[in-house]
Structure 1
Amino acid sequence: MAELVTLVVLLAAMVVAVPVAKRFGFGAPLGYLAAGLAVGPAGLGLVTNVSAIAHASELGVVMLLFLIGLELRPARLWVMRKSVLGLGGAQVAVTGAVIAGLCGWILGLAWPTAVVLGFGFALSSTAMALPMMAERGLLANQSGRNAFSVLLFQDLAIIPAVALLPLLGNGAVPQADGAWLAVGKAAVAVVVVLIGGRYLLRPIFRAVDRAGAPEIFTATALLIVIGTAVLIQEAGLSMSLGAFMAGVLLSDSEYRHEVQADIEPFEGLLLGLFFVSVGMGADIPAMLQHPIRFLGLALALLVVKALVMLVLARIAGVPWAGAMRMATVLSQGGEFGFVLFGLAVAGGAMAGEQASAAMLVVTLSMLATPFLFAAEERWLAPRLMTAKPKRPFDSPPDDNPRVIICGFGRVGQVVGRVLRMRGIPFTALEQSAAQVDFVRKFGSQAYYGDPTRVELLRAAGADKARILVVALDDMEQSLRVVEVATRHFPNLTVFARARNRRHVHHLMDRGVTHIVRETFDSSLRMTGDVLRQMGLAEGEVTRTLDTFRAHDERTLIHQHAVHNDETKLIQTSRDAAAELQALFEADREDDVDGKAQVTAKA
């Protein structure tokens, strides 16, 4: 019964505090923190079992990292590698070194404690920064992506930091046998997750989906997230790493969006509970005893981190407005700091009083961040922003078009011109405002909007149209349009432009059968002109190109089954090249034999 009363108190505090915080423009995290302060031991004292709530609320951070991994397909991770490793690595290294030096020089702390504090304070709050940026739609711009890259590196960097803590605790080096055993357990757990995710997740979701029970699908998603996190934790690694790996492994799955929709409500509520537990755990009596000391330390942390991030962002070429926003949103301490400081106490790298003080400084910095972010957004950002505000999307008329064209660039315009010439009505959607204005000058009618949004497709008449032409330049966006269209508008026949063979395979994964490779036909046409110029007869040119086309189409379909396995893909490419060479050799021998027979008869 007591647990139910505690739950009612927590939910009531959240329901009251969060809307008030958002009403004044400070975002949900501050509301959760305020709710924790109000009902915790330092406030009204309605909830006293802070540690139990803190343990349960860690699932919020776990699910947040799972959703982050779900958004990061391996291809996107590869594209982001420079910003993650470069900017993220520089932020952690430089900020950690500066803070560790200041702790040792000004505060006179022992170097192991200073190193732990430096690294712990260098980490920012993923759970606070991402929701604040997401609420304001900032994750899609360059500064938001850079901030995300830094946060991602920080979340991954906690793993080696925890592994190195024994070296700082009492200066003792762990026994070799124990160290190798720990490394072996961790390696086995990672391999199990990778292999299981690669070969088991899709069949599991496929079987559950066939059962037709949405609640079991949700239970399966929760089982995979929490089960992977627990498995990785049992191996001595971070639960968040396990959840992140599970998300990345599911990011290319056709069930990605359904899983995301099922997990997000739990993630939001549990993440809110995490911030409530942070607020409840704040050592307010200690701060009241030394208010100037703790407020000064929190202010120093915010200033040092913001300055380092500002300088690094400017060196990386980020404009002033984006650099200032990154400095503001990443200036606080983070939730992984609590984890690191607690483990450092257990390992003897710092005293319990020092860890409590450090956690209080992190909490105060987290409390200050929503105010700083709101002030930066209200007063500083408008003065630094030089770009024009993004214009609102158009509202395309639902005039029963037979064809919808997504992307009105080089390919889309050719399709549209021919359709207009034949009197076939169509609606063109283009996400570049400059391109829309350009084509309208020449009499073409296109509408500005993001075709990945199901609302826009519905407004354009996708539920009544017959054909959807996906002619977008960006591969990820074209795949997203296909996923949305096939899920919500099964009446549409999809014709998709593919940039390369990998794009073709991803489209085939999503059930698209009408695929046009944008450079394939033009390349063959140019090759035919080259062969004619070299003196080959027209029949020989046609036969050569037809042989190549048919063989390449067969190879493309055959490679679809192994396109996620690089080793097999390389081997099938080599086999196909050898097979094609053999075909041409046999064709050449037939030509020689035919000419010899003609000569003999003559």
Structure 2
Amino acid sequence: MNIHTLQIILLLLAIAVITVTLFRRFHLPPILGYLIVGILVGPFGIGWVASTEDTRFLAEFGVVFLLFTIGLEFSLPQMIAMKGSVFGLGGSQVLATGALATGIAWALGIDLNAAIIVGAILALSSTAIVTKQLSEQLELNSEHGRLGVSILLFQDLAVIPLLVVIPILAGTGDQGMAVPLLLALLKAALVFVVIMAAGHWLLRPLFHEIARARSAELFTLTVLLVTLAAAWLTHEAGLSLALGAFLAGMMLGETEFRHQIEADIRPFQDVFLGLFFVTVGMRVDLLSLLPILHWVLLLAAALILVKGVIILGLVRATGNSMSPAFRTGVLLAQGGEFGFVLLDLSLESSLLPGPVGQILFASIIVSMTASPFLIRNNGRLAKQFCTLRNFSDEVQIIGDLAEETEQMEQHVIICGYGRIGQNLGRLLDHEGFPYVALDLDPTIVREAHEAGDPVHFGDASRSEILDAAGLSRASVVVLSFEDHASAMKILHRLQEFRPELPVLVRTRDDTHMDELEAAGATEVMPEAVEASLMMGGQLLLLLKVPGSRIFKIMREIRENHYKLLRDFFHGEEPLDMEHDEAFQERLHTVTLPKKAFAVDHTIEDLHLWDWEVSVTAVRRGGIRGETPAPETRLQSGDVLVLAGTPKHLERAEGLLLYGH
């Protein structure tokens, strides 16, 4: 079906907006939404949009802009410092995965040359998915994030010689393999030197001049020019567009304009990257895949499992601990977008049989579809894996913990040894109070224990771990993490064995404060509310309020369970049903017009408490009255300040205005 170009763009935008909005609403990765859009509107779906070379070329700019922003995060000195991870770890991963996949493909009867390309395709991972997901999760600079990006950088560099090798293996080259490979490497080195020199001698002065013009439009245009010019330069040299963009980003990352450049390029990256995944989805022929679906799923599962295990083993072999090694394996277990480039070239060169290409293509897409879910939960999976792995050593763990706490009396048990737990430990140590800490992050446990901190690997919700930590002799238990479900489990355990023991619980806000106190928490410290209180105390001090008065105010607020500070206006923020914000009390104002149902009624008449809503204040004639009496009769123009959950506030507003 032929549609005008503008209509195609509008169609893609409309379907993408609807699909991505739904996926965001249900907390699903947007990348999956883009893939589904491509499947729906592509030539093998409804057929509204044709998958052309021009469309795929345009979509490749998503990867170009993505590699540019990655380059901004990695300076040249940083790259030199990471050479062991990039070339050592990255090279080992590509060789090990490629060799294994090549051997299996050859054993299954595929021609050796074709098997080599199969191995190369399956050795690559998705730079687009991994870096985008890590960036959204703020894990790009974490240990596993840096390890993953290092391996991805080598994979992207490895594509260059592979693009030269494929025509030679297909028999289309008239010369040996050494000369074209050497030529490609010389081109890459020349382009690298040119871009580095331009970055050092031209880009910084150029951006200084652009900044002096104080024009946001000119600054954005210059960023686009530099990005696309670098990509064009590497493309003209027979290399990938993405390599030039990465080098340009790396050069601009050395300048003081890095953060502004990243903010300006982000919208272009997101739009084109979305288009890239739409074009990937367009290639899926669901009908032709049905007869071979079992092979597709089998290969996808084997790819994720085997590739993840190989990466885990290699990262462990370099001296990294189990947790970042496992998380790096989870990050890179999928196939990649450059695999599609190699696959297309191999099919055009008749190097791969058509059915093999279809199975490979579909398997890579399945692995890429599963990848956002795996990456999003990589930390949780690592904790479960490390817990299972240490199950056989559990007796030793409990024994070591019991031995360390054997001589402790009236000590503190800190559950969770993140930043807050560590700070509490230092404070206790400074004042001479004994303590023992428990955590499920093996990296934290190992490093802190090596530093001499009394921290052990263990799940504090298990009675045998608490018993080994000396619960019967402890004076206080502190829960320093944010996980509400885990906190409730631990509180129930403590109520079973030592209900009289004081328990201090940290929470992000006051959403579950009452529930935690009912479960046995002696004190609940909601971070957001406590920060407001501490900042308010400092503010009053600057306003010359006597310290004794400030101390009294803060003590009264805490004794009243932060009642004065718990309700607030939330604005237009979305309600997250998964994280309970939708059930948190908030403030909401309702202005009564002349014909409102509540006019001439008293607050008591309205029975708002039936909806679990309270009137905290009434503003009339510019004067605000706090905690109005139940017999207060409401008038036209009154502004009521209500407190309650969003659902109950909506019903209460309907009652006040319309009587139902």
1:43 is paired with a residue of what secondary structure? coil
Partner of 1:315: 317
> TM-score scaled by structure 1?
0.62
Distance 2:109 2:339 in 1: 21
Residue 237 of structure 2 corresponds to residue 235 of structure 1: yes
Matches of 2:429 and 2:299 in 1, distance apart?
A: 57
Q: Which residue of 2 aligns with 1:507?
A: none
Superposed displacement of residue 74, structure 1 = 1.3
Q: Counterpart of 1:65?
A: 67
Q: How does 1:115-264 map to 2 (within 5 A)?
A: 115-170=116-171, 172-174=173-175, 188-264=190-266
Q: In 2, Cα distance between the equivalents of 1:49 and 1:166?
A: 24
Q: Which residue of 2 aligns with 1:113?
A: 114
1:300 aligns with 2:307: no
Moved more, 203-212 or 166-175: 166-175
How far did residue 331 of structure 1 move?
1.0
Identity %: 39
One-letter identity of the residue aligned with 2:144: S
| Structure 1 residues 177 and 90, CA gap change in structure 2 (3 angstroms) | closer
Closer/same/farther in 2, CA of residues 81 and 350 from structure 1, 3 Å limit:
same
Change (3 A) 1:379 1:146: closer
> 3-state DSSP class of the match of 1:290?
helix
Quick one: distance in 2 between partners of 1:85 and 1:189?
19
Question: Would you say 1:27 and 2:29 are equivalent positions?
Answer: yes
Classify 1:92/1:185 alpha carbon distance in 2 versus 1 (closer, same or farther; 3 Å). Answer: closer
The 1:267–1:392 alpha-carbon spacing in structure 2 relative to 1, beyond 3 Å, is farther
Residue 580 (structure 1) aligns with: none
Deviation digits for residues 13-34 of structure 1 (CA, Å, limit 9, x no counterpart): 2222223334444322222212
State how far apart, in whole Å, the 1-side matches of 2:8 and 2:427 are.
58
Q: Please state how far the C-alpha of 1:50 moved relative to its aligned partner.
A: 4.7
> What is the TM-score of this pair, normalised by structure 2?
0.57
Offset, 1:221? 0.3
CA distance in 2, matches of 1:130, 1:184: 29
- Report deviation, 1:435: 10
Query: 277, 301, 315: which is aligned to 2:279?
Result: 277
| Mapped partners of 1:294, 1:2: distance in 2 | 36
Answer whether contact 2:292 2:359 (CA < 8 A) is retained: no
Q: Deviations over 1:291-348 (max 9, x none)?
A: 1122222222222212212222222333333222222221110001111122233445
1:244-269 alpha-carbon deviations (Å, 9 max, x no partner): 11111112112222111111111112
| Aligned partners of 2:97 and 2:119 also within 8 Å | yes
Amino acid paired to 2:150 = S
Note if contact 2:106-2:112 (Cα within 8 Å) is conserved in structure 1: yes
Distance 2:307 2:328 in 1: 10
Which residue does 1:100 correspond to in 2? 102
Counterpart CA distance in 2 for 1:180 and 1:136 is 40
Amino acid aligned to 1:37: I
CA distance in 2, matches of 1:248, 1:349: 36
Structure number with the bigger relative contact order (C-alpha 8 A, sep ≥ 6) is: 1
Aligned match of 1:324 in 323, 326, 338? 326
Q: Which runs of 5+ in 2 are unaligned?
A: 391-414, 433-530, 539-660
Pair 248,438 (structure 1): closer, same or farther in 2 beyond 3 Å = farther
Q: State how 1:449-598 maps to structure 2 within 5 Å.
A: none
1:311, 1:301 → 2: CA distance?
Answer: 15
Rounded Cα–Cα distance in structure 2 between residues aligned with 1:324 and 1:243 = 30
* Partner SS for 2:45: coil
1:416-454: CA deviations, max 9, x gaps?
xxxxxxxxxxxxxxxx95898489869xxxxxxxxxxxx
* Pair 76,314 (structure 1): closer, same or farther in 2 beyond 3 Å: same
After superposition, what is the alpha-carbon deviation per residue over 1:347-384, rounded to whole angstroms, capped at 9, x for unaligned? 45334554344222211211122344456555663563
Partner of 2:45: 43
Shift in alpha-carbon separation, 1:140–1:177, aligned structure 2, 3 A? closer
- Give the counterpart letter for 1:296 in structure 2: L
Deviation of residue 235 (structure 1)?
Answer: 1.1
Letter in 2 for 1:133: L
- Structure 2 vs 1, CA of residues 139 and 293 (structure 1 numbering), >3 Å: closer, same or farther? same
In structure 1, distance between residues paired with 2:315 and 2:126: 18
Once the two structures are TM-superposed, the CA of residue 56 in structure 1 deviates from its matched residue by 0.7
| Structure ranking higher in helix proportion | 1
Q: For residues 38 and 417 of structure 2, what CA distance do their matches in structure 1 show?
A: 37
**Cα 1:194–1:44 shift into 2, 3 Å:** same
> Which residue in 1 is equivalent to 2:482?
none
* Count of aligned pairs: 408
